[in-house]
């Protein structure tokens, strides 16, 4: 509904205020005069009228001539007919909203904040807590983002076919960022933030519903479901992180895994070739379906990482590919690859690199070097739970 | 809406190669003609290099002149276009066609609107 109102009114803030006013009006009037046959149409049309009222009050108070033009423009918009609720129209508006909130002209943190606030409906305080900033900071971030949309003329549109895929990858990046912040938070002292994972999944489901048949939409949703399925096993009762090999697989959510696998199969059956999210989902599915760490199909995982390296070349992917390869070719070969990777630069300050070296050195029996590598990783890590895990690994040498 | 497209290039590399300079001149001629024909063009010019710039600041009523641009930057303002476009996506699409977008950077800034323009700004998106 908000999505449609934004389209009719042409401004985020005004639309939100109008919608609140419409809800208040409904709570007041419907008990007396009965619930209208088409609630959505009533609310949207009332919301629009309330928005115009607010605009008029602003004109009176501040004499802003330019707002008179805005009022005329809103007046020109047809309201939505009382008789129909065209589902395609609702879906179009929701898609418009998602693409606008994730527009590349907005800074990434603004896209994330706006999407969580306006698409997911999370209160500003909840989003602030999730990203460990003050409510005031998050409120300001949202105000600036909406101002940029308005002042720079970011259109309220679903992007045209020609650039849709490129913009879609931007939307997926926002969803993925929300998920990973919940799965492996970059700040604070909780090992996971499941509520962020849930929002990311909710967003992924919405996008899949609105844009069906897209490989990477299905791939990302599958990936988030498969990872989220393992959340319960990721940390122990004391809030400490566990390695994959230490986790109690009995705690994993089998229903979610099943759902993720179904989605993955659907994604892989599409004519379009799988993208990075689908490949990562395939790797996650192999982990999720393995009975134990030892019985995992490492050869296939290593092979999938080679595909991922080609699709999404980056030093981080190279590091993960080397770690997977160590399970197939042994620690010596993987260590060579990782040392070569370290020499190329690009992963300076990234603690998983020395942490991976440490684990391989440990397997090779080179304990002193392993200790030095763990120490290097510990010096770089910023999240308490991750540091405690590394300290535990160091202590166990 | 009107937007100012500010063209930034690294002058040292941009003006050093004569073949590049000539091919760029042709590309700009084509691009400028195209956006004039489409009605998007409202103004635009190339600027002489930043070494020809003078910066004026008035402090306590006194004008102070310094030689050069207002700040030393890795890339320098080399030219601009003033365009008319319905929204930011249209404006950035035009900016991407500017020959120096490849290798340089184009800053896209909305012009402060007169009240007549506001009606169009709030007008219906697709």
**DSSP notation for chain B:** -EEEEEEEE-HHHHHH-HHHHHHHHHHHHHHHHHHHHTT-EEEEEE---GGG-EEEEEETTEEEEEES-SS--SSEEEEEEEEE-SSHHHHHHHHHHSGGGTTSEEEEEEPPPPHHHHHHHTSPP-
Q: Is the pLDDT of residue A65 over 70?
A: no
Q: Closest partner residue to A154 among B85, B87, B115, by Cβ?
A: B87
Q: Is the pLDDT of residue A267 over 70?
A: yes
Q: Which two tokens stand for residue B27?
A: 């590309």
**Tell me, what DSSP letter sits at residue A272?**
S
* Nearest-angstrom CA–CA distance, B87 and B126: 11
* Nearest-angstrom CA–CA distance, A48 and A74: 8
Residue A321 or residue A81, greater confidence:
A321
Chain A residues touching residue B124 (CB < 8 angstroms)? 7, 10, 73, 76-77
Least confident range from A50-64, A145-159, A279-293: namely A50-64
Q: Check CB contact of B124 with chain A, cutoff 8 Å.
A: yes
Q: Contact A69/B119, CB-based, under 8 Å?
A: yes
pLDDT at A11: 85
Span A307-312, mean pLDDT?
95
Span A226-247, mean pLDDT?
90
Q: Contact A11/B92, CB-based, under 8 Å?
A: no
Chain B residues touching residue A72 (CB < 8 angstroms)? 119
* Nearest-angstrom CA–CA distance, A76 and A98: 25
- Contact status, residue A98 vs residue A22, Cβ threshold 8 Å: no
Label residue A188 by pLDDT band (50, 70, 90): confident
Least confident range from A101-105, A265-269, B37-41, B115-119: namely B115-119
* Nearest-angstrom CA–CA distance, A209 and A37: 26
* Nearest-angstrom CA–CA distance, A139 and A128: 8
In angstroms, the separation between the Cα of residue B63 and the nearest Cα of chain A is: 33
* Nearest-angstrom CA–CA distance, A8 and A339: 57
Q: Check CB contact of B94 with chain A, cutoff 8 Å.
A: no
Span A369-382, mean pLDDT?
94
What's the Cα-to-Cα distance from A22 to each of A25, A69, A234, B43, B81, rounded to whole Å?
A: 5, 23, 44, 45, 44
For the stretch B63-107, pLDDT in tens is 999 999 999 999 999 999 999 999 999 999 999 999 999 999 999
Span A153-175, mean pLDDT?
92
Partners of B32 in the β-ladder: none
Burial classification of residue A359, based on how many CB atoms lie within 10 Å of its CB (0-12 exposed, 13-18 middle, 19 or more buried) = buried
Q: Is the pLDDT of residue B51 over 60?
A: yes
- Contact status, residue A194 vs residue A215, Cβ threshold 8 Å: no
Span A134-151, mean pLDDT?
95
For chain A, the structural domain boundaries read 1-85, 320-397
Q: Which two tokens stand for residue A217?
A: 């939409």
In angstroms, the separation between the Cα of residue B51 and the nearest Cα of chain A is: 32
Span A145-159, mean pLDDT?
93
Spatial CB neighbours of A115, under 8 Å, sequence gap ≥ 6: A98, A101, A102, A174, A175, A178, A203
pLDDT at A357: 95
Q: Contact A70/B119, CB-based, under 8 Å?
A: yes
- Contact status, residue A287 vs residue A301, Cβ threshold 8 Å: yes
| Architecture (CATH level 2) of domain A320-397 | Alpha Horseshoe (1.25)
Label residue B125 by pLDDT band (50, 70, 90): very low
* Nearest-angstrom CA–CA distance, B74 and B36: 31
Span A182-190, mean pLDDT?
84
pLDDT at A397: 85
For the stretch A76-92, pLDDT in tens is 566 665 545 566 777 78
Chain A residues touching residue B91 (CB < 8 angstroms)? 153
Q: Check CB contact of B113 with chain A, cutoff 8 Å.
A: yes
What's the Cα-to-Cα distance from A297 to each of A110, A288, A329, A370, rounded to whole Å?
A: 40, 11, 13, 27
Q: Contact A153/B1, CB-based, under 8 Å?
A: yes
pLDDT at A54: 86
Q: Closest partner residue to B110 among A10, A11, A151, by Cβ?
A: A151
Nearest to A183 by CA among A218, A224, A217: A224
A–B CB contacts, 8 A cutoff, strictly below: 61
In angstroms, the separation between the Cα of residue B80 and the nearest Cα of chain A is: 18
Chain B residues touching residue A69 (CB < 8 angstroms)? 115-116, 118-119, 122
What's the Cα-to-Cα distance from B78 to each of A131, A171, B94, rounded to whole Å?
A: 40, 34, 17
- Contact status, residue A124 vs residue A135, Cβ threshold 8 Å: yes
- Give the whole-number percent of chain A exceeding pLDDT 70: 93
Q: What is the largest CA-CA distance in chain A?
A: 80
pLDDT at B126: 39
* Cα first-last separation, chain A: 58
Q: Contact A155/B86, CB-based, under 8 Å?
A: yes
Nearest to A284 by CA among A303, A307, A260, A267: A260
**Tell me, what DSSP letter sits at residue A241?**
B
Identify the residue among A67, A69, A95 best suited for mutation to test binding to B, counting B beta carbons within 10 A and taking the highest.
A69
Label residue A359 by pLDDT band (50, 70, 90): very high
Span A44-55, mean pLDDT?
88
Q: Which two tokens stand for residue A190?
A: 């909780």
For the stretch A380-393, pLDDT in tens is 988 888 999 999 99
Q: Contact A73/B1, CB-based, under 8 Å?
A: no
Q: Is the pLDDT of residue A295 over 60?
A: yes
- Give the whole-number percent of chain A exceeding pLDDT 90: 66
Label residue A191 by pLDDT band (50, 70, 90): confident
Angle at A204 between CA A168 and CA A302, to 5 degrees: 85
Alpha helix stretches (DSSP H) within chain A: 2-9, 12-33, 39-62, 65-76, 87-101, 108-114, 124-130, 135-152, 161-183, 194-210, 215-228, 231-234, 254-268, 276-289, 298-311, 315-329, 331-343, 352-363, 367-380, 384-395
Q: Is the pLDDT of residue A133 over 50?
A: yes
Alpha helix stretches (DSSP H) within A184-275: 194-210, 215-228, 231-234, 254-268
* Nearest-angstrom CA–CA distance, A264 and A221: 9
Beta strands B62-67 and B54-59 are: antiparallel
Q: Contact A69/B122, CB-based, under 8 Å?
A: yes
Q: Contact A69/B126, CB-based, under 8 Å?
A: no
Span A25-48, mean pLDDT?
89
Chain B residues touching residue A10 (CB < 8 angstroms)? 121-125
Chain A residues touching residue B116 (CB < 8 angstroms)? 69
Chain B residues touching residue A74 (CB < 8 angstroms)? 122
Q: Is the pLDDT of residue B119 over 80?
A: no
The nearest alpha carbon in chain B to A167 belongs to B89
What is the model's pTM?
0.83
Chain B residues touching residue A170 (CB < 8 angstroms)? none
Spatial CB neighbours of A180, under 8 Å, sequence gap ≥ 6: none
Q: Contact B87/A96, CB-based, under 8 Å?
A: no
């Amino acid at each position: 509904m908000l999505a449609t109102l934004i389209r009719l009114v042409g401004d985020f803030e005004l639309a939100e205020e109008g919608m609140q006013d419409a809800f208040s009006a409904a709570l007041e009037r419907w008990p007396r005069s009965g619930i209208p046959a088409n609630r959505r149409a009533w609310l949207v049309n009332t919301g629009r009228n309330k928005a115009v009222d607010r605009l008029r009050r602003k004109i009176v108070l501040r004499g802003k001539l330019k707002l008179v033009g805005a009022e005329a423009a809103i007046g020109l918009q047809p309201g939505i007919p009382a008789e129909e609720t065209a589902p395609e129209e609702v879906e179009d508006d929701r898609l418009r909203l998602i693409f606008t909130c994730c527009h590349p002209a907005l800074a990434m943190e603004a896209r994330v904040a706006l999407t969580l606030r306006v698409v997911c409906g999370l209160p500003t305080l909840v989003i602030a807590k999730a990203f460990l900033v003050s409510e005031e900071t998050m409120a300001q971030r949202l105000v600036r983002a909406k101002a940029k949309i308005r002042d720079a003329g970011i259109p309220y549109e679903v992007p045209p076919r020609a650039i849709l895929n490129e913009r879609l990858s931007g939307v997926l990046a926002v969803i993925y960022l929300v998920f990973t912040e919940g799965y492996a938070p970059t700040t604070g002292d909780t090992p996971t933030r499941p509520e962020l994972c849930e929002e990311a999944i909710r967003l992924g489901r919405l996008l899949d519903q609105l844009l069906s048949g897209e490989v990477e939409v299905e791939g990302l949703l599958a990936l988030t479901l498969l990872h989220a399925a393992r959340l319960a096993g990721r940390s122990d009762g004391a809030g400490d992180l566990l390695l994959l090999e230490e986790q109690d697989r009995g705690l994993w959510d089998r229903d979610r895994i099943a759902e993720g696998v179904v989605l993955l199969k659907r994604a892989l059956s599409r004519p379009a070739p799988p993208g990075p999210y689908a490949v990562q989902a395939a790797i996650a599915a192999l982990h999720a379906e393995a009975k134990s760490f030892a019985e995992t199909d490492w050869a296939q995982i290593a092979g999938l990482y080679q595909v991922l390296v080609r699709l999404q070349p980056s030093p981080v992917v190279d590091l993960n590919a080397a770690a997977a390869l160590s399970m197939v070719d042994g620690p010596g070969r993987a260590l060579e690859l990782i040392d070569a990777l370290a020499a190329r630069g690009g992963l300076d300050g990234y603690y998983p690199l020395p942490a991976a070296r440490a684990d391989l050195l440990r397997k090779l029996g080179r304990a002193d070097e392993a200790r030095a590598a763990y120490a290097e990783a510990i010096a770089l890590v910023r999240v308490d739970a991750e540091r405690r895990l590394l300290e535990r690994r160091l202590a166990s040498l | 809406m009107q937007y100012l497209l500010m063209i930034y290039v690294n002058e040292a590399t941009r003006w050093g190669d004569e073949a590049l300079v000539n091919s760029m001149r042709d590309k700009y001629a084509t691009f400028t003609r195209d956006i004039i024909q489409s009605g998007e063009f409202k103004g635009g010019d190339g600027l002489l290099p930043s070494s020809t710039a003078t910066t004026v600041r008035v402090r306590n009523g006194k004008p102070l002149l310094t030689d050069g641009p207002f700040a030393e930057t890795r890339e320098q303002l080399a030219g601009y276009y003033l365009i008319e476009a319905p929204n930011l996506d249209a404006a950035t699409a035009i900016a991407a066609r500017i020959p120096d977008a490849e290798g340089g950077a184009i800053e896209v800034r909305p012009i402060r609107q007169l009240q007549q323009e506001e009606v169009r700004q709030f007008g219906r998106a697709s």
